[in-house]
């Protein structure tokens, strides 16, 4: 059966991927995007902002036949490179080997590839068109261009991929309350840049800098400092995008107390001296780049019968600490597309099923994300955490059918996020018991520990490899 057309709002990462997947299924799709076409103009020449791509995102890209193209423009990250205040560095691997890695990819490059692929598959894009109103009963939407000129368009079914501040969500909520709850984290972020090694005086390059990269390229770098941290992800051109996460208000250090580069420089010199040395344009970056806000969005209702549904950040924006927002949105797109293809005549049923399937998982990854912030900024240098990591590594070897870290389940499998969270907590409880009174891995009989784990927990579900 031929599907009625779909109107998509937002051609960001999730909207562009969904448009491609729908068009490949032969569904007519019109996409309205507020920005001008990012493939034209100088959008690409600006800041290099990157994201971590993991298995869920890769699986969606495989379905879109885009994996090779995307990975060619990505940098592999094997683990966290933890930078202590004393300059000591320690690589904590994420997975077992190089089949379990995450990838740093440029947001702009990825968006460009997705737009090209969606257009080639037949999706129609309308850039510079902002959704401003919707009449769901009349199946019409209203759009404004950059000059404020408004026009209407038919829209029997609208999918909102218009991000955390979704206008479609606000319009749906006006019709039927969606039960939105936004929890702000109280911490914000600011992006800075480490340029390619050739742009830095040679004397400044640390040990471990490789070729055009000023730091080890195949890692996600973290400078954990308790209540705050910096991270850096590599870019293919040899630069790194650095993100400072800090409380918004309150006593120093907070963005309120460090409003400009002059005040922030002294703070960096004390807390991140090795990093500061690698950011020659620190003052320019700090003063020009805005402080981004971080919050989690929970919605009771994601759809209005067959008229409208939300996806990606529009439905479940989360903080970035697990690097899963886009990965989760890509997984959403594949699931929604499959449901639409399976039930072409029942969009109300499809949208209800989409929420029923996804919401427990998106709630779980939102919760895991908040826990991971504490792990990244604090626990990674905690002695108990480090002993637990060692036991975890031994159990991974000795009881692979019964033990897999939560991070590996989230990042390297397609096991549902809710399962990963629940299983992770059950494993953690056993590990804590096994470690009671232990200060070193030598205090634990690892073979007995593996036997305990096997006795307590059922085997893990068989993992599907990509």
Ligand X SMILES: Cc1cc2nc3c(=O)[nH]c(=O)nc-3n(C[C@H](O)[C@H](O)[C@H](O)COP(=O)(O)OP(=O)(O)OC[C@H]3O[C@@H](n4cnc5c(N)ncnc54)[C@H](O)[C@@H]3O)c2cc1C
229 binds ligand X (CB under 6 A): no
Say whether residue 234 binds ligand X (CB under 6 A).
no
Question: b/e string for 296-312 if b means 16 or more Cβ within 10 A?
Answer: bbbbebbbbebbbbbbb
Pick the closest to residue 462 from 400, 393, 398, 391 (CA basis).
400
Piece of the chain touching ligand X by CB under 6 A; list 62-70, 260-268, 325-333, 352-360: 325-333
Q: Are 393 and 430 in contact (CB under 8 A)?
A: no
Pick 34 or 358: Cβ nearer ligand X: 34
Among 159, 167, 277, 380, the residue binding ligand X under the rule CB under 6 A is 167
Determine if 159 is a binding residue for ligand X (CB under 6 A).
Answer: no
Of 121 and 366, the one with the shorter C-beta distance to ligand X is 366
Rule CB under 6 A: say whether 416 interacts with ligand X: no
Give the integer Cα–Cα distance in Å for 82 and 100: 19
Across the beta sheet with 74-77, the strand order is 50-53, 102-106, 74-77
Minimum Å distance from CB 431 to ligand X?
27
Integer Cα distance of 59 and 464 in angstroms: 11
Q: Which is nearer to ligand X, 255 or 403 (CB)?
A: 255
What gap in Å lies between CA 110 and CA 49, rounded to an integer? Answer: 11
Q: Contact between 161 and ligand X (CB under 6 A)?
A: yes
Report how many residues bind ligand X under the rule CB under 6 A.
32
Q: By CB under 6 A, is residue 160 in contact with ligand X? A: no
Which among 250, 218, 223 has a CA at the least distance from the CA of 234? 218
Find, among 218, 213, 276, the residue nearest to 244 by Cα: 276
Cα-only R_g, the chain? 23
| Coil, strand or helix at 289 | coil
Q: Measured from the CB of residue 330, what is the shortest distance to ligand X in angstroms? A: 8
Which of these ranges, 7-15, 264-272, 372-380, 450-458, lies near ligand X under the rule CB under 6 A? 7-15
**CA distance linking residue 406 with residue 417, whole number of Å:** 9
Q: Within positions 34 to 73, which residues make up the interface with ligand X, using CB under 6 A?
A: 34-35, 51-52
**Position among 95, 247, 323, 424 found at the interface with ligand X (CB under 6 A):** 323
Site for ligand X contains 131 (CB under 6 A): yes
| CB 112 to ligand X: min, Å | 12
DSSP reduced 3-state for 66: coil
CB 219 within 8 A of CB 337: no
Q: Does residue 14 interact with ligand X by CB under 6 A?
A: yes
Stretch that binds ligand X, among 3-11, 256-264, 273-281, 447-455 (CB under 6 A): 3-11
Q: Which stretch binds ligand X (CB under 6 A): 316-324, 368-376, 406-414, 420-428?
A: 316-324
| CA separation for the pair 104, 283 (Å, rounded) | 25
Q: Considering the complex, what minimum distance in angstroms separates the CB of residue 35 from ligand X?
A: 5
Nearer to ligand X, 125 or 403 (CB): 125
Selected binder of ligand X within 30, 100, 162, 331 (CB under 6 A): 162
Q: Which stretch binds ligand X (CB under 6 A): 180-188, 317-325, 402-410, 425-433?
A: 317-325
For residues 213 and 245, which CB has a smaller minimum distance to ligand X in the complex?
245
CA 392 remoteness from chain centre: 25
Residue placing its CB nearer to ligand X in the complex, 167 or 395: 167
- Between the two ends of the chain, the Cα-to-Cα distance in Å is 31
Among residues 271, 324, 411, 452, the one that binds ligand X under rule CB under 6 A: 324
Decide if residue 12 touches ligand X (CB under 6 A): yes
Token pair recorded at residue 265? 């420089």
Q: Which residues partner with 143 through β-bridges?
A: 131, 151
* Pairing of β 308-310 and β 158-160: parallel
Alpha-carbon distance of 381 to 86, in angstroms, equals 12
| Options 6, 10, 223, 406; binder of ligand X; rule CB under 6 A | 10
Structural contact between residues 293 and 184, judged by C-beta atoms closer than 8 angstroms:
yes
Among 109, 157, 158, 163, binds ligand X (CB under 6 A): 163
Among 325, 334, 391, 446, binds ligand X (CB under 6 A): 325
Backbone angles phi, psi at 87, to 5 degrees: 90, -5
* Positions in 175-204 near ligand X (CB under 6 A): 189
Report d(CA 29, CA 309) in Å as an integer: 15
Range 330-369, binding ligand X (CB under 6 A): none
Q: How far is the CB of 329 from ligand X (least distance, A)?
A: 5
Contacts of 132 (CB under 8 A, 6+ apart): 142, 143, 144, 150, 167
Task: Please identify the residue of the shown chain whose CB is closest to the bound ligand X.
Answer: 12
Encoding tokens for residue 91?
């690589």
Residue 117 or 453: the one with the smaller Cβ distance to ligand X is 117
Task: Give the binding site for ligand X (CB under 6 A).
Answer: 9-15, 32-35, 51-52, 130-131, 161-163, 167, 189, 243, 292, 312-314, 320, 323-327, 329
């Amino acid at each position: 059966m031929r599907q009625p057309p779909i109107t998509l709002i937002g051609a960001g990462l999730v909207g562009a991927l969904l448009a491609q997947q729908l068009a490949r299924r032969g569904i007519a799709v019109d996409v309205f995007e507020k920005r001008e076409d990012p493939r034209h103009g100088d959008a690409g020449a600006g800041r290099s902002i990157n994201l971590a791509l993991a298995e869920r995102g890769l699986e969606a890209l495989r379905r879109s036949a885009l994996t090779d193209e995307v990975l060619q423009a990505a940098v592999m990250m094997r683990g966290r490179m933890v930078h202590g205040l004393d300059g000591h560095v320690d690589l904590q691997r994420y997975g077992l080997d190089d089949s379990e890695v995450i990838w740093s990819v440029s947001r702009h490059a990825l968006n460009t590839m997705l737009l090209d692929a969606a257009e080639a598959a037949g999706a129609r894009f309308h850039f510079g068109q902002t959704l401003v109103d919707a009449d769901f009963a009349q199946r019409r939407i209203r759009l404004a261009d950059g000059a404020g000129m408004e026009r209407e368009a038919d829209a029997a079914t609208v999918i909102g991929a218009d991000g955390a501040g979704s206008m479609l969500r606000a319009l749906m909520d006006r019709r039927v309350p969606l039960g939105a709850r936004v929890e702000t984290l109280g911490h914000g972020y600011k992006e800075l840049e480490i340029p390619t090694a050739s742009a830095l005086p040679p004397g400044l390059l640390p040990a471990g800098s490789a070729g055009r990269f000023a730091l080890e390229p195949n890692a996600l770098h973290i400078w954990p400092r308790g209540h705050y941290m910096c991270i850096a992800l590599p870019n293919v051109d040899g630069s790194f995008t650095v993100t400072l996460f800090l409380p918004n208000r309150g006593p120093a250090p907070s963005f309120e107390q460090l409003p400009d580069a002059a005040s922030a420089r002294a703070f960096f010199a004390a807390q991140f001296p090795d990093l500061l040395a690698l950011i020659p344009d620190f003052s320019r970056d700090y003063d020009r780049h805005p402080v981004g806000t971080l919050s989690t969005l929970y919605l009771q209702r994601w759809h209005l019968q067959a008229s409208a549904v939300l996806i990606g950040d529009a439905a479940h924006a989360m903080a970035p600490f697990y690097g899963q927002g886009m990965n989760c949105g890509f997984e959403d797109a594949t699931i929604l597309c499959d449901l639409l293809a399976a039930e072409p005549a029942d969009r109300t049923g499809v949208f209800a099923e989409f929420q029923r399937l996804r919401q427990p998982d998106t709630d779980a990854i939102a919760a895991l994300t908040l826990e991971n912030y504490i792990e990244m900024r604090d626990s990674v240098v905690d002695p108990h955490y480090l002993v637990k990591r060692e036991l975890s590594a031994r159990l991974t070897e000795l009881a692979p059918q019964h033990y897999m870290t939560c991070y590996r389940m989230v990042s390297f499998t397609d096991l549902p996020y809710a399962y990963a969270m629940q299983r992770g907590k059950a494993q953690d409880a056993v590990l804590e018991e096994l470690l009671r009174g232990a200060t070193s891995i030598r205090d634990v009989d690892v073979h007995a520990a593996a036997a305990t784990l096997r006795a307590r927990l059922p085997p893990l579900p068989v993992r599907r490899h990509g």
